[in-house]
């Protein structure tokens, strides 16, 4: 079964819009786990517009499933990872001011940087994942620099699913096959939702984990958080 990691950034966005501590981000993480999520994902950005540094530290002591911290590997991010030592660090290439992660790494152009960062993360005992698109050269490059996993950027799949789902998933099937050949484990994330998740899972049986935040939290507004998480888990069976 593919594991579901819930990205809780949106809980923090809602809290920050009003101030105070409602909703409580730590309690939200605990509830997600209690309702069946097999991981918690956060992406602390430099401007702390959603998850804050102190949230990450607080979550370190309470998350009992897999804790995954996404981010651009600058000194700030690496400092967080060194202190928290999450189960997984997912490296994304987006600059600090971007709204959301919207592209994968060029793992060839950035090979030296990624190799150095991955080496340090492994010294800290943290499993590594690199955010990539379906370009086979970038997947080969990810294996070359020594990552444990890749996370496939699935926005193009989500967009194409609406018109031709078989064509939309085809590059991901090829990318997954290449990753498996190279000994890489496979995550996926971005714009995955209840309508398109099951088909992706069926076409990519090797998929280890999906990270879902925005769509799941939107669904929870109508379905309730527990029901939403359970419905996402059903799509992954």
pLDDT tens, residue by residue, 121-175: 999 999 999 999 999 999 999 999 999 999 999 999 999 999 999 999 999 999 9
Q: Outline where 9-147 has alpha helix (H).
A: 9-18, 25-34, 53-60, 75-84, 111-123, 136-145
Model confidence pLDDT, tens digit, residues 23-71: 999 999 999 999 999 999 999 998 999 999 999 999 999 999 999 999 9
- Determine contact, residues 65/39, Cβ cutoff 8 Å: yes
Q: Determine the Cα–Cα distance for residues 121 and 130; give it in Å rounded to an integer.
A: 12
| pLDDT beyond 80 at 89 | yes
Bridge partners of 132, per DSSP, are 152
| pTM (predicted TM-score) | 0.95
pLDDT for the residue numbered 27: 98
Burial of 115 (0-12, 13-18, 19+ CB in 10 A): middle
In CATH, the number for domain 3-235 is 3.20.20.70
Q: Outline where 107-161 has alpha helix (H).
A: 111-123, 136-145, 155-161
- Those residues with Cβ within 8 angstroms of residue 225's Cβ, 6 or more apart along the chain or in another chain: 28, 31, 32, 35
pLDDT for the residue numbered 95: 66
Dihedral of alpha carbons 203, 206, 211, 216, sign: positive
Rg (CA), the chain: 17
Long-range contacts of 157-162 (CB under 8 A, 24+ apart): 157/191, 157/196, 157/200, 158/190, 158/191, 158/192, 158/193, 158/196, 159/191, 161/195, 161/196, 161/199
Q: Which residues are catalytic?
A: 43, 70, 190
Q: Give the start-to-end residue ranges of the domains of the chain.
A: 3-235
Band (pLDDT 50/70/90 cuts) for residue 230 is very high
Of all helices (H) and strands (E), which one includes residue 172?
Answer: helix 165-181
- Determine contact, residues 150/132, Cβ cutoff 8 Å: yes
- Determine contact, residues 62/25, Cβ cutoff 8 Å: no
């Amino acid at each position: 079964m593919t594991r579901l990691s819930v990205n809780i950034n949106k809980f923090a966005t809602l809290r920050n819009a009003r101030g105070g501590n409602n909703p409580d981000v730590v309690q939200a993480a605990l509830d997600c786990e209690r309702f069946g999520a097999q991981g918690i994902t956060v992406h602390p950005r430099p401007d702390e517009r959603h998850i804050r540094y102190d949230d990450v530290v607080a979550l370190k002591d309470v998350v009992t499933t897999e804790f995954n911290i996404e981010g651009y590997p600058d000194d700030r991010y690496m400092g967080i990872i060194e202190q928290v030592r999450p189960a997984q660090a997912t490296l994304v290439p987006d600059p600090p001011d971007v709204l959301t992660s919207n592209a994968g790494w060029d793992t060839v152009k950035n090979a030296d940087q990624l190799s150095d960062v991955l080496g340090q993360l492994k010294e800290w005992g943290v499993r590594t994942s690199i955010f990539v698109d379906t370009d086979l050269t970038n997947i080969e490059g990810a294996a070359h620099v020594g990552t444990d996993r890749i996370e496939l950027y699935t926005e193009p799949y989500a967009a194409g699913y609406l018109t031709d789902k078989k064509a939309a998933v085809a590059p991901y099937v090829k990318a997954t096959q290449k990753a498996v050949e190279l000994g890489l484990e496979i995550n996926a994330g971005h714009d995955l939702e209840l309508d398109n998740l099951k088909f992706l899972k069926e076409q990519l049986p090797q998929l280890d984990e999906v990270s879902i935040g925005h769509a799941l939290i939107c669904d929870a507004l109508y379905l309730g958080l527990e029901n939403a998480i359970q419905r996402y888990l059903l799509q992954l069976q």
